[in-house]
Amino acid sequence: MNRKRSVIINYIVAAAMALSLTACGGGGGGGGSSSGGLSLSITDAPVMDDDIAEVWVRFTHVIVHSDGGDDTPQPVTDGTNDWIDVNLKDLTEGKTQLLGDFKLPGGHYSWIRLVIDPDNTVIVERDVVGSPDGEGNSETDDFLHAPALLDCSSCDESHLKLHRSFDIPNEGGWVNFTIDFDLQKSLTLQLPQSEKRRPDYAYKLRPTLRILDAELASTFIWGSVTDTRATKEDPADPTGCEIYVYTGAMETVTPDDLCEVDEPDVSCDGVNNQRPLTTADVINNGGTFEYQTGSLYPGTYTVAMICPAIIADPAHADDPGTDDELVYIGEQEVDATLDPPDGLGSEANFVLADAL
């Protein structure tokens, strides 16, 4: 499927979902003007690591806190089990998975917590065998290791708290949020090893979440990466690149790396200290190298590309657990509009050249 067609389909599907929710009161559990509640979906900014094939998170409950001080646990179910298992690696380029439509009485709510089961939250690593074909797909030849448990102490202690207030009208109405898990910021390899399978708890999960109004965060940024280097060895090289998205115009943004740590001896207070809002992988789409961000609010953004495995020392790739010095390519300012022309989002293209 070519890029233009796939983006149009994604946009039409998102628009159709928004219209469907509006028609039934804003959520799948609406049913009538006297009922209301909260609809939650999950999406993810991809993690740029070919070794990671799957990251499964088991969600069991959603807790909402009312203005009166009451916590309202809402069970999460897939229709068969009292939980939903979500592979975050599947939820890129604006794809979402519904956690549920939760009926709530009218009133003011001050925060949301996601409850997960750490004993069933795992990572699956792969060994890549051979080279990608023309479609950028070598998974049929990959060797997948057995699942390993993730280290997520905060998941069990305080759950995943989202500081976002909202109101449910007394006469009924639905609020729709999409939660960006942002796996790239959340996942850190804390026990580097040269041989796999890595043991349980080799990876630490520090969930870094942002919550979006689903019906407002309806735009995105996409584009292509052209490799013009005369010395390129592999035409799939641009798949080692990643796009970083920063809030604000270029004159106000100096790009800095991902940095999300909670250890007292590690600081994220770098010289620039302007961290990306979200990221997007460059993928090989039948020989064309492209990217697409997840959902964004309308506004002005600065986008930049990093390619540490190509133009810099791969050892200096962006580790969210440290404050890294990165080389940024092709910084651009993008006006991401609420109603993109022809539903195609906002375009920003990049070039890999010999001068880099």
The residue among 213, 244, 275 that closes a domain is 213
Higher pLDDT, 22 or 321: 321
Q: pTM of the entire structure?
A: 0.64
Same-domain pairing of 203 and 249: no
pLDDT tens per residue across span 52-79: 889 999 999 999 988 777 787 889 988 8
- pLDDT attached to residue 215: 73
Q: How confident is the model at residue 23 (pLDDT cuts 50, 70, 90)?
A: very low
Indicate whether 203 and 240 sit together in one domain.
Answer: no
Name the more confident of 49 and 263: 49
- What are residue 106's phi and psi, to 5 degrees? -60, 145
User: Where a domain ends, among 185, 213, 241?
Assistant: 213
* pLDDT score at 319: 74
Clarify whether residues 136 and 249 are in a common domain: no
166 and 244 together in one domain: no
pLDDT over threshold 70, residue 323: yes
Per-residue pLDDT for 11 more than 70?
no
Q: Are strands 288-292 and 283-285 parallel, antiparallel or unpaired?
A: antiparallel
Residue type, 35: S
Those residues whose C-beta lies under 8 Å from the C-beta of residue 25, and which sit 6 or more positions away, are: 31, 32, 33, 35, 36, 172, 173, 174
**CA–CA distance, 310 with 264 (Å, rounded to integer):** 33
Tens digits of residue pLDDT in 71-100: 878 899 888 899 999 999 888 877 889 999
Token pair of 325, please?
A: 């010095």
Distance CA 90, CA 53 (A): 10
Same domain, 198 and 229: no
User: Residue 81 and residue 256: Cα distance in Å, rounded?
Assistant: 42
Considering 213, 242, 270, which residue would you say is the last residue of a domain? 213
What are 244's two structure tokens?
Answer: 């970083």
- Shared domain for 45 and 15, answered yes or no, is yes
- The average confidence (pLDDT) of the chain is 76
> Do residues 70 and 131 share a domain?
yes
Q: Kindly tell me if the per-residue pLDDT of 239 is higher than 60.
A: yes
- Statement to judge: residues 181 and 252 lie in one domain: no
In this structure, the answer to whether residues 121 and 160 fall within a common structural domain is yes
Do 170 and 252 belong to one domain?
Answer: no
Contact 131, 138 (CB under 8 A): yes
**Cis peptide bond N-terminal to 197, omega within 30:** yes
Write the pLDDT tens digit of every residue in 164-194: 888 888 767 888 899 988 888 888 888 766 6
Residue 45 predicted with pLDDT over 80? no
Q: What range defines the domain where residue 17 resides?
A: 3-213
Domain count, the chain: 2
Q: What is the DSSP letter of 24?
A: T
pLDDT at 233: 62
Indicate if 36 and 183 belong to the same structural domain.
Answer: yes
Is the domain of 175 the same as that of 276?
A: no
Cα separation, 323 vs 308, whole angstroms:
15
What confidence tier does 139 reach under pLDDT thresholds 50, 70, 90?
A: very low
User: What confidence tens digit (pLDDT) does each residue in 240-278 have?
Assistant: 789 999 999 999 898 888 877 655 555 666 555 688 888
Could you tell me the CA-to-CA distances from 40 to 43, 175, 201 in Å, in that order? 10, 9, 28
Query: Does the structure show a pLDDT above 80 at 14?
Result: no
Within 8 A by CB and 6+ apart from 282, the residues are 225, 238, 239, 240, 241, 242, 243, 289, 290, 291, 305
Residue 225: predicted pLDDT: 92
The CATH number covering residue 344 comes to: 2.60.40.1120
Rounded CA separation 316/309 (Å) = 9
Per-residue confidence at 232, pLDDT binned at 50, 70, 90? low
